[in-house]
Amino acid sequence: MKHTHPLTRILAAALGVICGAVLAMPGPAAAATPDYVIGPGDVLQVFVWRNPDLSVTVPVRPDGKISTPLNEDMAAVGKTPSQLAHDIEMKLAEYVRSPHVNVIVTKPASVFSQVKVIGQVTHPEAVAYRNGMTVLDAVLAVGGLTEYAAGNRARIVRMVNGTETDIPVRLGALVNNGDMSQNKPLQPGDVLVVPESRF
């Protein structure tokens, strides 16, 4: 049987703790995720490489469009930052040779960056989405379930490719019994519905 040197064991344990700490670090905001969907009210930073005069920070207007130099009406709502960057590049190619554009959502403010919690919770409201957010995070953010909540009949309503999808969640089992298998991950734009119990 091979014996491991005590120092090797200590170093391995320390490395495990460091790796665990790095993995546990909070992720970036919803704006940083590549599949983030731009919505009205978001603030975008449009960076055009080697063209500082064309680089701007702009809000997404209520009509879903943005105004940038050389392009007054570019549709932004419903696109990811990379899709919008590509569209801006196509437009700028009329004026600039081989433009390279980056779009960063600096302030996510639209419904696409929120999770709504409705029904039998203490404070039904929209909660700002953050990376790694789960059902339990959302329930705690709105003050928990009311005494009339039918937690085990809760559901997440999510739009998938334009189709509304229901994902059942047994909130009662999660909150009361600690069943972490019910602590499902949330996505921006989700609606968590907690119905009233039937008497």
Q: What is the pLDDT of residues 144-194, one digit of tens each?
A: 999 999 999 999 999 888 889 999 999 999 999 999 999 999 998 899 999
Q: Which two tokens stand for residue 38?
A: 């731009």
Residue type, 113: S
Q: Which CATH number fits domain 112-194: 3.10.560.10, 1.20.1250.20, 3.40.50.10490, 3.40.50.300?
A: 3.10.560.10
- Write down the residue that tokens 């007054």 correspond to: 72
In degrees rounded to 5, what are phi and psi of residue 32? -85, -15
Residue type, 104: I
What pLDDT digit, counting tens, does each position of 48-60 carry?
999 999 999 999 9
**111 or 134, higher pLDDT:** 134
CATH number attached to the domain at 31-109: 3.30.1950.10
Q: Global pTM?
A: 0.52
For the chain, where do the domains classified as CATH 3.10.560.10 start and end?
A: 112-194
The three-class DSSP label of residue 73 is strand
What pLDDT digit, counting tens, does each position of 59-95 carry?
999 889 999 999 889 999 888 899 999 999 999 999 9
Neighbours of 71 (CB within 10 A): 17
